[in-house]
Amino acid sequence: MRTKRNAIVIAHRGVTGVDMVENTVKAFERAVALDADFIETDVRCTSDGQLICFHDGKLDGTAVKKRSYQSLQKYARGIGWELPLLEEVLLLCKGNLKLDIEIKAKGLEEQIVDVVEKTGMAREVLITSFRDSILKKIKQLDPKIRTGLLLGRRLLQQRFRLHAYIQDFFPEARLKDIGADAVCPHYHLLRLGFVKRMHRLNLPVYVWTVNEKWRMEKVLHKGADGLITDDIVEAMEVVKGTRR
């Protein structure tokens, strides 16, 4: 188990703020400069088959998958930011820090594995998803690539389905079935001995999205191995046991 002092800090969509847009090269470069352990990003595919780092399914009211990269980039530049390709971000991270790639939709697995391998980053990424089938496919394509199962989305969506909640609170069978290398729960799942149970499976626990100092301390006290956060400066100080 990691201690509070050696837990890792994962920059959620890079470092954002009033002068920085999430999931952009500038946001990622700032995370590198601040010495984060990982950057977390989301991947979508454009109509012309380009893998981009972007969270939402739509941009300017149109589905990302129905627009070309050139069209999306033109819109982004028009409002003052750049839309990065996954390959660009992998090369930025190479030799600096690791990359947590969240896959939103099925059908991108092979293309993502190809670009990860092409950039020589197969051992430097963690591919995460809420979908078990996506992570199973990644392992089939390249067993060297580490995968992490995201848990807890239903808690935020307030969809009460007892079976779904049980699957998230007690994901042991799912984790074994997909061969996951890590588990990434929402902080509300850290009860009923969750962290201890995951550690018995020799799986690190990276918790999302933890932004308040008091919550960071609470999560680390429960034994979490990493914080996925929008405030990496605060998180790094908490991990080091220092105060601002």
For residue range 170-215, what is the model confidence (pLDDT) as tens digits?
Answer: 999 999 999 999 999 999 999 999 999 999 999 999 999 999 999 9
Q: What is the number of structural domains in the chain? A: 1
CA 189/CA 168 separation, integer angstroms: 8
Which CATH number covers residue 44?
A: 3.20.20.190
Region at 199 (left for phi over 0; alpha for psi -120 to 50; beta for the rest): alpha
Between 171 and 6, residue with greater pLDDT = 171
Residue with tokens 């470092």: 15
Phi, psi of 52 (to 5 degrees): -120, 155
CB 145 within 8 A of CB 119: no
Contacts of 6 (CB under 8 A, 6+ apart): 239
User: How far is CA 55 from its chain centroid?
Assistant: 11
CA 185/CA 163 separation, integer angstroms: 17
Q: Mean of the per-residue pLDDT values for the chain?
A: 93
CA distances from 139 to 10, 45, 107, 198 (A): 22, 20, 14, 20
- For residue 102, is pLDDT > 80? yes
Between 4 and 78, residue with greater pLDDT = 78
Phi, psi of 108 (to 5 degrees): -100, -5
Region 58-70 average pLDDT: 92
pTM of the model: 0.93
pLDDT of residue 218: 97
Q: Which domain holds residue 236?
A: 4-240
User: How far is CA 171 from its chain centroid?
Assistant: 18
CA distances from 214 to 11, 47, 154, 206, 211 (A): 18, 43, 24, 17, 9
